[in-house]
Amino acid sequence: MNKLYIVKIGGHVLDDEPALQKFLKDFASIQAPKILIHGGGSIATKIGNSLGIESKYVDGRRITDGPTRDLVTMVYGGLINKQMVARLQVLQCNAMGVTGADGNLLKAVKRPVKQIDYGLVGDITPEDVNSTLLYFLLKQNTVPVFASLTHAQGEMLNTNADTIASVLAISLSKHFDTRLIFCFEKPGVLKDVTDETSVIRHLNKDLYERLLAEGSFHDGILPKLENAFAAIRSGVREVLIGEHTQLIANTGYETKGTLITLQ
């Protein structure tokens, strides 16, 4: 099977122009089928403030109301996505900016209201991916660039970018030998959160479960690890958690971040 790289970048990189330019250059240089997933940076909050749209929280959980959904549709799906696509084009990368609504690539279910009404949030599973169209787009040498939005019943929905990356990786693992790369600000999963040199270089299911039972992981990394192992358990060959500056190394054999595999 051909190699496929699915790369998720976090919001911090989007706010740091030199870091973003380096990242895009590195991403464009990957000589294999690839997909990029991004959320939004502080620009969404800034534009939201100007428009009088406030972030809402219930019990510490972020709620997506109508104005917030329109804001992220504009800023993630429009401004950030298209700026990134235009910049990748000039780097000879035939990027194609999409949301889950485009080509029905990610058909979600609006999150059911239980204790909390999260609002206009979309939940997705690997079965919700239009992998046929994605596969054909990749075969045409286009590079899908996903904004973290899905759709259901005629409406755009907000969806976590890590989840989108994980779900895409699972779905495409039937066509490709897939490496899912989560880029963030740390060099990898750390044994000691205060020591950046304490990167766990390789994490398999057994070690993960042991460290989890020992309570070794920092709260901030747990959702990423859950997404990573969800992918690994469902057929994704490798997940890499690492720093956005290390993308080139982390697409190779001698990775700098935390490489996660089943065995």
Residues forming the site for a second copy (CB under 8 A)? 47, 50-52, 70, 73-79, 81-83, 85-87, 89-90, 94-99, 101-104, 107, 133, 136, 140, 142, 149, 151, 153-156
β-strand pairing of 149-152 with 143-147: unpaired
CB of 74 vs a second copy, minimal distance in Å = 4
Considering beta carbons, is residue 100 or 187 the nearer one to a second copy? 100
Q: Find the shortest distance in angstroms from Cβ 157 to a second copy.
A: 9
Nearer to a second copy, 75 or 203 (CB): 75
From the CB of 228, what's the least distance to a second copy, in Å? Answer: 29
**111 Cβ neighbours under 8 A, 6+ residues apart:** 118, 121, 122, 123
100, 150 Cβ separation under 8 angstroms: yes
> What backbone torsions phi and psi does residue 199 show, to the nearest 5 degrees?
-60, 130
Give 102 or 162: the residue with its C-beta nearer to a second copy. Answer: 102
Using the minimum distance from each CB to a second copy, give the nearer residue, 125 or 132: 132
Amino acid at 179: R
Nearest to 206 by CA among 234, 229, 227: 229
Report, in Å, the least distance between residue 231 CB and a second copy. 26
Which helix (H) or strand (E) segment holds residue 137: the answer is helix 131-139
